[in-house]
Amino acid sequence: MSDLLAARSQMAMSLAFHIVFAVVGIGMPVLMVLAERRWQKTGDPICLELAKRWAKGTAILFAVGAVSGTVLSFELGLLWPEFMEAAGPIIGMPFSLEGFAFFTEAIFLGVYLYGWKRISPRAHLFSGVIVAVSGAASGIFVVIANAWMNAPTGFGLVNGRIANIDPVAGMLNPMAFQQTLHMTLAAYTATGFAVAGIHAFLLLRDRENSFHRRALSIALMVGVPAALLQPISGDISAKSVARMQPAKLAAMESHFETGTRAPLLIGGWPDMERREVDYAIRIPGGLSFLAFGDPDAEVKGLDEFPRDEWPNVPIVHIAFQIMVGLGSYLALLSLWVLWAAWRRRDIAGNRWLLAAIAAAAPMGFIAIEAGWTVTEVGRQPWTIYGVLRTADAVTSMPGLVYPFIVFTVLYCFLGVIVAWLLYRQILSSPRGSEWSRINPPVRADHA
């Protein structure tokens, strides 16, 4: 393994691990706030228990996310010094703002966890809202930095080096809105359906469990609207990629030759030797329409770019198909849930719907991993698109395969610990059918 590949692999492993916790840090606080608000309005003790349990889960995942995020910050400087030298003056601002949001989230999460009987119910709920808002802001600022790497602005090139820096213009780059919208919705979709899927699975074994019924309804309140909006944000993002990163779009669709009425491919495997895609379903003019709103529009193919500027087409294409496929499943599932709710059907009583929701539990996170693969691998061979190549950004330090192996083992170890802790949380779920007999309703002002 070359040092460049080892550095890229270590960064990929770190990002793939950290993004799960970052996403949960955005979505879970919304769940616990909704549960607490419902408890304050109805006095339902199950909602109080849900708020407390989800707060504990948020704290566990927040702690691991803080550790993995710290590792990432060190890796940026140690593995990619040339990138940090070039980009630091610009992405330093969004990363600094992310730090403020992170500290705010940490402070108010502490207030939320330990303030149940120490502050007023309104102040306690407000602290949860601050956790939810600062968690979303933290993710937005990080994604803005990544968006700048895809559409770098706010500087000039003098003798091949970045100069005349305007960090505010860098933050307001042309890809910032699209990427932050898409990622934030993805976080709510993944977290909402992950929680809903767990409780749907448990309801399949115990249909009358009121604890899991309440949890399922609150989780779907977060996951369903986000999943329905996600295709719209995906369309906005795809049109931006078509304008600003045509090579990435060509890799996403394995579009080898420039032409009009470019077909949209569903599935398939790209053959790099023949420059064709096998086993794909083709929709004539579909790609032209989705990219430019015109089925007769011309779409640039990979033949427009030097061979050494092509991304890894098979990886980008397959990852894109996975992301779109899973996102479509979640959107269609959300329509099914809305239809059942509109017809006033008992969602927890529909075995097929519960099974579909249970199957969706990991899909949001898989789609996010696939989407980030498209974003990062699709930008190659550039670290800063059109400005700095990845091969020129990596450190000259040898032996990078060894830290890659060490960190991979470390992340696997942390993953097992977190999975065990969360599993213990789920196992200790109370029997909801007996809850009202054991615990009479308690109003917020008596908690």
Tens digits of residue pLDDT in 329-359: 999 999 999 999 888 888 888 889 999 999 9
Q: What is the pLDDT of residue 444?
A: 46
Q: What's the pLDDT score for residue 441? A: 44
pLDDT tens readout for residues 275-327: 888 888 889 988 999 888 888 889 899 999 999 889 999 999 999 999 999 99
Q: What is the pLDDT of residues 48-65, one digit of tens each?
A: 989 998 898 888 888 888
Q: What is the pTM of this model?
A: 0.91
pLDDT tens digits, 242-255: 989 999 999 999 99
DSSP-derived 3-state class of residue 307: helix
Bridge partner list, 162: 157
pLDDT category of residue 425 using cuts at 50, 70 and 90: low
Q: What is the pLDDT at residue 416?
A: 84
Residue-level pLDDT at 62: 84
The mean pLDDT of the chain is 87
Q: Which position has the higher pLDDT, 425 or 203?
A: 203
4, 183, 239, 251 from 257: Cα distances, Å? 30, 30, 19, 11
pLDDT at res. 434: 47
Neighbours of 300 (CB within 10 A): 18
pLDDT score of 272: 87
